[in-house]
């Protein structure tokens, strides 16, 4: 069974009734930490410590007996000069997998369809015919050639678009990418259309215009191509007038490699700490800025990790690589597609690192090909690319009760804010060298991270005090989430099983590794990740190719998102 590739509008129509309402993540305390504070010394921002980046349960099978061995892999700890956090996860052995055979995929009879009115201009990808009805096998009406522009008036829940003349074309044959756009290697890269209503707009800011916004109209002195204004940043806009002034002072001094920064009247030590940490996390272009938080009265002295000449040299390498990414990003018109290019590039070009320094915790390694990053580096690299693509993005940090810290992104996509976590979508830590990409946290919402991302947007000082940085926007939407956008979400067991078989067919044929769908209730998720279905899916995978060795369940993080994921290990 071939996998459907369908537009966001189609996916939203087919899945609109599947998801329950989302809850906003608790935002009480935590974030990045620092070492001791004195009246005369700087304090250090501890680099992100990602605990349990991915927890993979590996299933193995011998020729003489069937056994399931579940091994939880703990993510490497991110170590800094000031502290090392160690987390131990015990290994457990599951019960013997029951003998089972792959259930046959049932064929459902065609049925009448529902329509949702939309207004889209799309393009034919290859020669095809329009149909009388929005069902497979319907009589053909008119032939369309590749590259033809078509105007869409509705989308159906059977996977078709309705034309103005009342005929239908299947979504497999259309795209929103104009014929002269550069080609992309990944057939799943593009999202067709908008995720919900095509008229959905970003809500207007309630805050009045910043009177000093025009002060940042010039381009970055080090990077003329980077024109993102700090006054447009969501975190900046949450600050008080005096805090904004300090933010501006820090950014403009750092851009020009000036060390002296004046502290506006009325700001205390905690205020200076808060603003500096926000700047450090959300101005990724300042990759030379030290993680050492300056302390002082009346003014502070910035520290830089490298010289201006070295930064200019590095920037040339960064610019060349960013241009390659932007060429690919700009081949697409939808924000979801642009974000998928960025997400996939950051993950496939970089690996998780144990070392915490300005190169691994900033954009330098991420955008020069050096490749080793901690979670802060993943997040900043993602944010820099979003800045270049004109997509609103911020870096958010948090930590858990054990003190392990993490960084990820919140982005604005089409109809609202979403979570984007490239660190935890990188499977590198689970299997050593891994060349595939996960999508558990590709445009997720708050309810999907409530059990994994803690104490949102707070930073811990060396004296133990937690400082609230800012309150990130609530992420409550679902339309752009990977599994809904790409029509991989199911509301019942039978359709989910069919979807998994289709995924195994396509993934194995392409020699890829990750097979995943999303379901809308926990009972179905439990069933499809049980020993019984592990055995069913493993037998099926082996029947498709002799190269398949075994399949491995991804449970802990996937459970939060109700994603059924099996990763294929080849011989």
Question: Mind listing the pLDDT tens digit for each residue in 366-404?
Answer: 998 778 899 999 999 999 999 999 999 999 998 766 667
User: What is the rounded distance in angstroms from the CA atom of residue 428 to the CA atom of residue 423?
Assistant: 9
| φ, ψ dihedrals at 24, nearest 5° | -75, 140
- Residue 545: the pLDDT is 96
- Residue 65: the pLDDT is 32
Burial letters 167-180, b for 16+ CB under 10 A, else e: bbbbbbbbbbbeee
Region of residue 559 (phi > 0: left; psi between -120 and 50: alpha; otherwise: beta): alpha
In this prediction, residues 284-310 reach a mean pLDDT of 93
Q: Which residues contact 465 (CB under 8 A, 6 or more apart)?
A: 270
- Residue 454: the pLDDT is 77
- Residue 135: the pLDDT is 83
- Say if residues 436 and 425 touch (Cβ distance below 8 Å): no
Q: For residue range 160-189, what is the model confidence (pLDDT) as tens digits?
A: 899 988 998 988 888 877 776 444 444 333
**Residue 321 burial (C-beta neighbours within 10 Å; 0-12, 13-18, 19+):** middle
Least confident span in 320-334, 353-367, 424-438, 486-500: 424-438
Q: Which residues contact 255 (CB under 8 A, 6 or more apart)?
A: 220, 221, 222, 286
Q: Which two tokens stand for residue 448?
A: 């999907």
* 372 three-class SS: strand
- Residue 335: the pLDDT is 95
User: What is the rounded distance in angstroms from the CA atom of residue 75 to the CA atom of residue 54?
Assistant: 6
Give me the residue label for tokens 């207007």.
Answer: 204
Q: Which residues contact 306 (CB under 8 A, 6 or more apart)?
A: 288, 314, 358
- In angstroms, what CA-CA distances link 553 with 40, 129, 344, 569? 52, 41, 22, 11
- DSSP-derived secondary structure for 195-216: SS-TT--PPPP-SPPPTTGGGG
Percent of the chain whose predicted confidence (pLDDT) is above 70: 71
Handedness of CA 192, 195, 201, 203 (dihedral sign): negative
198 pLDDT higher than 90: no
Percent of the chain whose predicted confidence (pLDDT) is above 90: 50
- Confidence category of residue 419, pLDDT binned at 50, 70, 90: very high
Torsion of CA 216, 220, 224, 226, to 10 degrees: -80
Q: How far apart are the first and last CA of the chain?
A: 25
| φ, ψ dihedrals at 535, nearest 5° | -65, -40
User: What is the rounded distance in angstroms from the CA atom of residue 337 to the CA atom of residue 234?
Assistant: 23
In 87-240, which ranges are continuous DSSP H helix? 234-237
| φ, ψ dihedrals at 151, nearest 5° | -105, 125
* 323 three-class SS: helix
Ordered domains of the chain (ranges, CATH) = 63-70+84-106+482-570 (no CATH), 107-175 (2.30.30), 213-301 (no CATH)
409 pLDDT higher than 60: yes
Assign 3-class secondary structure to 415-477.
CEEEEECCCCCCCHHHHCCCCCCCCCCEEECHHHHCCCCCCCCEEECCCCCEEECCCCCCCCC
User: What is the rounded average pLDDT for all residues in the chain?
Assistant: 77
- Say if residues 490 and 519 touch (Cβ distance below 8 Å): yes
**Residue 33 burial (C-beta neighbours within 10 Å; 0-12, 13-18, 19+):** buried
Q: Which residues contact 166 (CB under 8 A, 6 or more apart)?
A: none
Highest mean pLDDT among 245-249, 466-470, 552-556: 245-249
Least confident span in 18-22, 202-206, 240-244, 417-421: 18-22
Burial letters 495-504, b for 16+ CB under 10 A, else e: bbbbbbbbbb
User: What is the rounded distance in angstroms from the CA atom of residue 246 to the CA atom of residue 7?
Assistant: 45
* 142 three-class SS: strand
Give me the residue label for tokens 């194995």.
Answer: 508
Beta bridge partners of 442: 420
In this prediction, residues 8-22 reach a mean pLDDT of 40
Highest mean pLDDT among 103-112, 127-136, 321-330: 321-330
- Residue 138: the pLDDT is 82
Highest mean pLDDT among 75-79, 140-144, 268-272, 454-458: 268-272
Q: For residue range 326-343, what is the model confidence (pLDDT) as tens digits?
A: 999 999 999 999 999 999
Beta bridge partners of 154: 117, 162
- In angstroms, what CA-CA distances link 338 with 191, 328, 405, 413? 9, 8, 28, 10
Pairing of strands 351-352, 372-373: parallel
Can you give the pTM of this predicted structure?
Answer: 0.69
């Amino acid at each position: 069974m071939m996998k459907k590739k369908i537009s966001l509008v189609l996916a939203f129509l087919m899945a609109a009734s599947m998801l329950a309402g989302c809850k906003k993540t608790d935002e009480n305390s935590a974030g990045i930490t620092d070492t001791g504070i004195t009246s005369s010394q700087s304090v250090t921002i501890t680099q992100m410590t990602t605990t349990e980046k991915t927890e993979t349960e590996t299933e193995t099978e011998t020729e003489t007996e069937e056994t399931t061995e579940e091994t939880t892999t703990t993510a490497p700890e991110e170590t800094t000069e000031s502290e090392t956090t160690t987390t131990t996860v015990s290994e457990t052995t599951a019960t013997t997998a029951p003998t089972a055979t792959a259930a046959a995929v049932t064929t459902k009879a065609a049925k009448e369809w529902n329509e949702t009115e939309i207004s889209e201009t799309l393009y034919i990808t290859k020669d095809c015919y329009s149909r009388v009805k929005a069902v497979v096998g319907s009589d053909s009406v008119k032939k369309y050639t590749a590259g033809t522009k078509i105007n869409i008036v509705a989308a159906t829940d059977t996977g078709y678009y309705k034309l103005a003349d009342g005929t239908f074309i299947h979504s497999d044959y259309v795209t929103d990418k104009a014929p002269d756009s550069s080609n992309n290697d990944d057939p799943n890269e593009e999202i067709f259309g908008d995720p919900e209503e095509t008229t959905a707009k970003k809500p207007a800011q309630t805050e009045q215009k910043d009177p000093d916004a025009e002060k940042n109209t010039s381009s970055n002195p080090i990077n003329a191509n980077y024109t993102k204004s700090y006054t447009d940043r969501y975190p900046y806009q949450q600050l008080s007038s005096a805090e904004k002034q300090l933010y501006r002072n820090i950014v403009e001094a750092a851009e020009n490699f000036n060390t002296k920064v004046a502290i506006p009247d009325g700001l205390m030590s905690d205020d200076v700490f808060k603003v500096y940490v926000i700047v450090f996390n959300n101005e990724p272009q300042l990759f030379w800025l030290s993680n050492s938080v300056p302390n002082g009265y009346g003014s502070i002295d910035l520290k830089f990790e490298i010289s201006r000449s070295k930064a200019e040299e590095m920037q040339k390498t960064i610019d060349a690589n960013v241009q390659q990414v932007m060429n690919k990003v700009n081949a697409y018109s939808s924000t979801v597609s642009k974000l998928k290019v960025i997400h996939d590039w950051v993950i496939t070009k970089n690996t998780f690192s144990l070392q915490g320094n300005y190169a691994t915790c900033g954009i330098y390694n991420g955008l020069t090909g050096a490749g080793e990053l901690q979670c802060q580096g993943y997040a900043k690299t993602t944010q820099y690319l979003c800045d270049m693509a004109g997509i609103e993005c911020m870096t958010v940090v948090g930590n858990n009760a054990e003190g392990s810290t993490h960084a990820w992104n919140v982005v604005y996509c089409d109809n609202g804010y979403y979570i984007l976590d490239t660190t935890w979508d990188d499977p590198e830590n689970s299997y050593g060298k891994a060349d595939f990409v996960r999508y558990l946290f590709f445009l997720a919402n708050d309810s999907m991270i409530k059990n994994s991302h803690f104490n949102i947007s707070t930073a811990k000082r060396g004296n133990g005090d937690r400082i609230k940085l800012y309150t990130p926007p609530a992420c409550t939407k679902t339309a752009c989430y990977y599994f809904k956008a790409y029509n991989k979400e199911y509301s019942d067991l039978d359709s989910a099983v069919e979807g998994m078989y289709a995924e195994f067919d396509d993934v194995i044929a392409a020699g890829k590794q990750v097979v995943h769908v999303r379901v809308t209730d926990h009972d179905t998720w439990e069933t499809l990740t049980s020993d019984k279905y592990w055995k069913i899916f493993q037998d099926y995978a082996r029947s498709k190719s002799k190269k398949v060795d075994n399949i491995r369940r991804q449970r802990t993080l996937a459970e939060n998102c109700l994603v059924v994921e099996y990763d294929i290990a080849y011989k």
